[in-house]
A and B are shown apart, each in its own frame.
Chain A
């Protein structure tokens, strides 16, 4: 029962990982763009929520209505103003530029909010849970996080497969030069994709802030988990991102069972080992495209 509980809690944590990984997966899937500032953007989203919740005295969940559009616009502008100039066959410029952006975000957050840890307070729901059996109880917050991750990924999948915008994303992902010949403004489309990526990572950041306390320099650790989830699931695959996040979460949950003998790092350690195992045996990820 204890093990089953570890798996259930791991799945819940996996929802958060999947939410983190979504934006990374979009940017890579649409324009082969590796965003090293992704974790810092999540923390930025959480801090924007701190300002919105205190400034407008909103519940953090409600603050998403304000935070998500702000980050969407920021992503759009960032792609048009900066990232588009780094897109080429060579991935190095985008990696360097986003690495620098991460440093800028961390220091800007330190200047603005100080180094203190913050949290986003949603009231008593934080400690409430649904009791399934004596040994298994599911917290409302992790459950809502998982539901949000599934909803975001379902929405994304529907957009990609059924809408003109989604078809344009698939077209530029496949062959940008030919997509341009079909009249698609690829640069503008990349900006839309980055807007969506920023919006989803902001949601992830807000859920992170509700779940645990966070500080300005916590981004890189989140980036690592997001990367692992994307690589496990498969680059550029929507369902892969969900599967990758959930598997990584389960690994963290099961690894946590060894805390007594290995210390508090045992959860992330097993996650890293699963990541390494997938990378070694199936580098394209469990559901990855062959060309990725």
Chain B
């Protein structure tokens, strides 16, 4: 079976190598978690996949199709969506308008507003944000902004959803709420790649974890096994090997 998303031997350097010979395969309906200490290159990897950054070497494929040289808006229409670590709403617009932009332009098929409106409403429902639809986006609290990032991404009807520390900065209760939302999104058939520091949130959703350090993969596999492995304990949790 062709993997839905494939990262093949990708390098990215900003003077120092931030992503180094990274390879990764994600199959349809997978939920992959990515962990690693700050500066491990996780967000850079996500930016490379989403097309915000271009690879120095290697390639990125969706359903076997090489998309390494395509722009981020093209990749969005091709089925990739990402949320930003620090939410970036279009502040002057309402929440609904924000999501409508994604619905109209992100689907990959020309769509007028009448056709896009139900898509936007559904995305808001799935992100559990319908009640705030007419709020000005700039006025949302943090959890609302995170949910709006989710809703906007869902409105583009992605095959793969890339989440960048979406639980970061939330209270414990908010994290649990958001985990339920993300679980439901995964269950609806969307493939998830999720970078997160809050491990218990990640463990509640993902079925595989990849651990990164200094731009390279140090472990990948069953979440519990990866988190318990000596390599991860050492670099990620700061436990010295005995």
Binding site for B on A (CB under 8 A): 163-164, 167-168, 170-171, 174-175, 177-186
Most buried by B among A179, A180, A183: A183
Q: Could you say which of A174, A185, A186 contacts B90, with CB atoms under 8 Å apart?
A: A174
Q: Which residues of A have CB within 8 Å of B72?
A: 177, 180-181
Docked-complex contact A186 and B93, CB < 8 angstroms: no
Q: Which residue of A lies closest to B87 (CB)?
A: A178
Can you offer 6 A-B residue contacts whose CB atoms are under 8 A? A164-B112, A168-B105, A177-B72, A179-B90, A180-B52, A181-B72
Docked-complex contact A183 and B88, CB < 8 angstroms: no
A167-B100, A178-B84 given as contacts; is B112 within 8 A of A183 (CB)? no
Q: Which residue of B lies closest to A177 (CB)?
A: B52
Q: Which residues of B have CB within 8 Å of A179?
A: 73, 90, 101
Measured between alpha carbons, how far is A179 from B152 in the docked complex, in Å? 11
Q: Please report which residues of chain B, range 56-92, place their CB below 8 angstroms from some CB of chain A when the two chains form the complex.
A: 71-74, 76-77, 81-82, 84, 88, 90-92
In the complex, B97 has a CB within 8 A of chain A: yes
Docked-complex contact B73 and A170, CB < 8 angstroms: no
In whole Å, how far is A179's beta carbon from the nearest beta carbon of chain B?
Answer: 7
In the complex, B104 has a CB within 8 A of chain A: yes
Q: Which residue of A lies closest to B72 (CB)?
A: A180
In the complex, B211 has a CB within 8 A of chain A: no
In the complex, B106 has a CB within 8 A of chain A: yes
Docked-complex contact B81 and A167, CB < 8 angstroms: no
A164-B112, A182-B152, A183-B77 given as contacts; is B90 within 8 A of A170 (CB)? yes
A164-B113, A181-B72, A183-B108 given as contacts; is B50 within 8 A of A171 (CB)? no
Q: Which residues of A have CB within 8 Å of B101?
A: 164, 167-168, 171, 179, 182, 184
In the complex, B215 has a CB within 8 A of chain A: no
Docked-complex contact A182 and B106, CB < 8 angstroms: yes
Q: Could you say which of B50, B90, B104, B156 contacts A175, with CB atoms under 8 Å apart?
A: B90
Docked-complex contact B152 and A183, CB < 8 angstroms: no
Q: Which residues of A have CB within 8 Å of B113?
A: 163-164
Docked-complex contact B97 and A167, CB < 8 angstroms: yes
**Range, interface on chain B:** 20 to 34
| Chain A interface helix/strand/loop/mixed | helix
In whole Å, how far is B185's beta carbon from the nearest beta carbon of chain A?
Answer: 17
In whole Å, how far is A162's beta carbon from the nearest beta carbon of chain B?
Answer: 9
Binding site for A on B (CB under 8 A): 50-52, 71-74, 76-77, 81-82, 84, 88, 90-93, 97, 100-102, 104-108, 112-113, 116, 152, 156
Docked-complex contact A174 and B82, CB < 8 angstroms: no
Measured between alpha carbons, how far is A170 from B52 in the docked complex, in Å? 20
In whole Å, how far is B32's beta carbon from the nearest beta carbon of chain A?
Answer: 20
Q: Which residues of B have CB within 8 Å of A183?
A: 73, 76-77, 102, 105-108, 156
3 nearest A-B pairs in the assembled complex, by CB-CB distance? A183-B106, A183-B76, A183-B105
Q: Which residues of A have CB within 8 Å of B156?
A: 182-183
Q: Which residues of B have CB within 8 Å of A168?
A: 101, 104-105
Q: Which residues of B have CB within 8 Å of A178?
A: 84, 88, 90
A164-B104, A175-B88 given as contacts; is B73 within 8 A of A185 (CB)? yes
Most buried by A among B90, B106, B112: B90
Docked-complex contact B97 and A174, CB < 8 angstroms: no
Measured between alpha carbons, how far is A183 from B108 in the docked complex, in Å? 8
Measured between alpha carbons, how far is A170 from B77 in the docked complex, in Å? 20
A167-B93, A174-B91, A186-B73 given as contacts; is B105 within 8 A of A181 (CB)? no
Q: Which residues of B have CB within 8 Å of A164?
A: 100-101, 104-105, 112-113, 116
Docked-complex contact B104 and A181, CB < 8 angstroms: no
In whole Å, how far is B104's beta carbon from the nearest beta carbon of chain A?
Answer: 5
Measured between alpha carbons, how far is A262 from B151 in the docked complex, in Å? 63
Measured between alpha carbons, how far is A174 from B113 in the docked complex, in Å? 21
Q: Could you say which of B74, B76, B91 contacts A182, with CB atoms under 8 Å apart?
A: B76
Q: Which residues of B have CB within 8 Å of A163?
A: 113
Measured between alpha carbons, how far is A234 from B166 in the docked complex, in Å? 37
Q: Could you say which of B76, B107, B108, B116 contacts A181, with CB atoms under 8 Å apart?
A: B76
Measured between alpha carbons, how far is A269 from B108 in the docked complex, in Å? 54
Docked-complex contact B73 and A171, CB < 8 angstroms: no
Q: Which residues of A have CB within 8 Å of B88?
A: 175, 177-178
Given contacts A180-B52, A182-B105, 13 further A-B contacts (CB under 8 A): A168-B101, A168-B104, A170-B92, A171-B90, A171-B93, A179-B73, A179-B101, A181-B52, A181-B73, A181-B82, A183-B107, A185-B71, A185-B74
